[in-house]
Chain A
Amino acid sequence: MKKLTLNSILISLAVVLSFIERLIPLNLIVPMPGIKLGFANIVTMFALFCVDIPSAIIITILRCILSSLLFGGMTSLLYSLSGAFLALIAMILLKLGYNKVFTLLGISIGGAAAHNIGQILMASIMMKNFAIFAYLPILLLASLVTGLITAIIASGVIGIFEKNKGFI
């Protein structure tokens, strides 16, 4: 029951973050389909590290469906699901080496890069045209920056949660 409540809060937090992200006109600076800061990934990382993998999967799927229903549409659901799911798989795999080989930084950047690859793959399938891969190099470089930002925020949040675990 406690987990259900926590997961529900995390889903709504992710939807709110997706909304806030839309208010930042990032594509005026970098006009490229699919570019965004990836704040919702902070919630996925939190769920992955502080709850468990099944919760992270459920939270990711539901926040994609909810934010697409609220702000996007059917097409945006396909894009966000493909990106978010590939990011989740990458982060689950990288998490296996957490504290031994990787810190949150590597996991976050890996997730951001996988997210971009997922979206470009989906876009090329939808448009039946591989020309859109021309955007991938810049999107990958952008994921270094966005991955760093989410890593800093996520490590702060996860650190606080770990410290106060008994109270939550």
Chain B
Amino acid sequence: MKVKIKFGDVLVILAVILSSAIIAMSMHQEDSEQRVAVISQNNAEIGRIYLDKYQEPYTIPYSGQYPGIIEVNNGKVRFKEAQCPDQVCVHTGWIEKPGEIAVCLPSGIIIKIEGYNQSDVDIIVR
């Protein structure tokens, strides 16, 4: 099979590569010491975990049409188990770097890692 290529095809390919690079750069976040995992369900924040504060593993259950369990361990976070049909969230595995996300579309849950500076936090309740 011979696939011929024309000028416009190269333009399409370049446009796709370029736009993915631009989006990736605009979403990029600097690696920072302090990280927080923001868990939201349909844009309502349901949890905020300061990843560097906890060394002991623990889990956070969430409810909804497709409930599941989020696990935090060793500064990383993941969907441990979920009732959703596609299991994409569970296969995503651990995330830990600022800017990384894990998503469960059926349940509407997004876990997003954000970096922050110590000065951004007013009080830390221990």
Contact = CB atoms under 8 A, between A and B. Distances in A.
Interface of A: 27-28, 31-33, 75, 79, 94, 97, 100-106, 109-110, 113, 123, 126-129, 131-138, 140-141, 143-144, 151-152, 155-156
B110 A131 contact: yes
A144 B1 contact: no
Interface of B: 1, 3-13, 16-17, 19-21, 23-24, 27, 40, 42-43, 86-88, 91-93, 99-101, 103, 105-106, 108, 110, 112
Given A75-B105, A144-B16, A31 B6 contact: no
B43 A128 contact: yes
Given A28-B91, A140-B20, A156-B1, A129 B40 contact: yes
B91 A131 contact: no
Given A101-B7, A102-B6, A109-B12, A31 B88 contact: yes
A17 to B, nearest CB: 19
Given A31-B91, A134-B100, A140-B16, A103 B4 contact: yes
Nearest to A72: B85
A94 to B, nearest CB: 7
B3 A105 contact: yes
A104 B20 CA distance: 22
A127 B91 contact: no
B9 A109 contact: yes
Contacts of A151: 3
Contact of A103 (B6, B20, B91): B6
24 contacts: A27-B86, A31-B91, A33-B86, A75-B106, A102-B9, A102-B12, A103-B4, A103-B5, A105-B3, A109-B13, A109-B16, A129-B40, A129-B42, A129-B43, A131-B110, A131-B112, A132-B103, A134-B27, A134-B101, A136-B23, A140-B17, A144-B13, A144-B17, A156-B1
A151 B1 CA distance: 11
Contacts of B100: 134
B17 to A, nearest CB: 7
Given A133-B27, A137-B27, A155-B1, 8 more contacts: A32-B92, A103-B9, A127-B108, A128-B43, A131-B112, A134-B27, A141-B20, A151-B3
